């Protein structure tokens, strides 16, 4: 899995500071490092990304909320009684890759959280603009909502329902540094070890 070879304690990352401070916390960590994220995260999936891209084309800029906070490629399930949100599961990230270079060029999407490996264009964008891609654990979605998510608020595109943009507060959300601001890519580093793996290989995106 993502924790291949990791024996170190996770580094706590405070997300409720200006984005340059978040980036400063991440830049000292090598790829593969585990992190515990606490603070504000923006949740958006494919359709929301397409809308944000439309805003960029129309106005020449991206919304402030994707400049100020990390963006989590996920979507909520129906909210159960007594909990801040339903299940928040990370979605496969590659579908968002075409947007990243433009968004990062305008100060957005500098820290992304999702699952799965990314394309060369994502790695290049992070190297060029100083961004990071963090891998979340896919199978713990229901547990994530109960344990880690403290509040949830819809902040844009309410008409999209579950595909809207959400602002959530998390506490101790476990993730791993998969792509850093120096162009290092965890999946590329482990590929040689995975060449003879079965379908359950840690490189697999599904």
What local confidence, expressed as pLDDT, does residue 201 receive? 47
Q: Give the total number of structural domains in the chain.
A: 1
> Tens of pLDDT along 160-189?
988 899 999 999 989 999 999 999 999 887
Residue 186 located in a structural domain: yes
Q: What are the pLDDT digits (tens) for 1-36?
A: 444 444 589 999 999 999 999 999 999 999 999 999
Please tell me the distance from the alpha carbon of residue 204 to that of residue 206, in angstroms, as a whole number. 6
Closest CA to 126 of 156, 154, 96: 96
Residue 206 is assigned to a structural domain of this protein: no
Q: How many helices (H) and strands (E) does the chain have?
A: 7, 9
Please check whether residue 87 lies inside any domain of the structure. yes
- Establish if 38 belongs to a structural domain: yes
Q: Tell me, what's the pLDDT at 94?
A: 81
* Chain mean position to CA 123: 14
**For position 204, what pLDDT does the model report?**
46
Would you say residue 199 lies in a domain?
no
Say whether pLDDT at 127 is over 50.
Answer: yes
Give a yes or no: residue 50 inside a domain: yes
Neighbours of 123 (CB within 10 A): 24
Q: For 75-116, write each residue's pLDDT tens digit.
A: 766 665 555 566 666 677 788 999 999 999 999 999 999 888
Residue 203 domain flag: no
> Chain-wide mean pLDDT for the chain?
84
Q: What CATH code is carried by the domain that includes residue 47?
A: 3.20.130.10
Output Rg (C-alpha) for the chain, integer angstroms. 16
Length of the chain: 206
What's the domain range around 114?
Answer: 11-194
- The mean-pLDDT minimum among 106-110, 126-130, 200-204 falls in 200-204
Q: Does residue 1 lie within any of the structural domains? A: no
């Amino acid at each position: 899995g993502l924790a291949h070879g990791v024996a170190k304690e996770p580094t706590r990352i405070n997300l409720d500071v200006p984005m340059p401070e978040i980036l400063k916390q991440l830049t000292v960590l090598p790829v593969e490092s585990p992190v515990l994220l606490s603070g504000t995260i923006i949740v958006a999936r494919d359709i929301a990304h397409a809308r944000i891209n439309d805003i960029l084309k129309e106005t020449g800029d991206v919304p402030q909320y994707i400049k100020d906070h990390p963006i989590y490629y996920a979507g909520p399930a129906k909210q159960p009684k007594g909990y801040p949100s339903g299940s928040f599961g990370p979605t496969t990230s590659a579908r968002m890759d075409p947007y990243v270079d433009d968004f990062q060029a305008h100060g957005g999407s500098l820290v992304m959280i999702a699952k799965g490996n990314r394309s060369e264009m994502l790695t290049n964008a992070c190297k060029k603009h100083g961004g990071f891609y963090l891998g979340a654990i896919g199978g713990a979605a229901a547990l994530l909502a109960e344990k880690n998510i403290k509040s949830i608020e819809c902040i844009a595109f309410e008409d999209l329902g579950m595909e809207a943009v959400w602002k959530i507060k998390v506490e101790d959300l476990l993730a791993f540094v998969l792509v850093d601001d120096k162009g290092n890519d965890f999946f590329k580093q482990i590929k040689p070890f995975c060449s003879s793996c079965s379908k359950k290989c840690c490189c697999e995106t599904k």
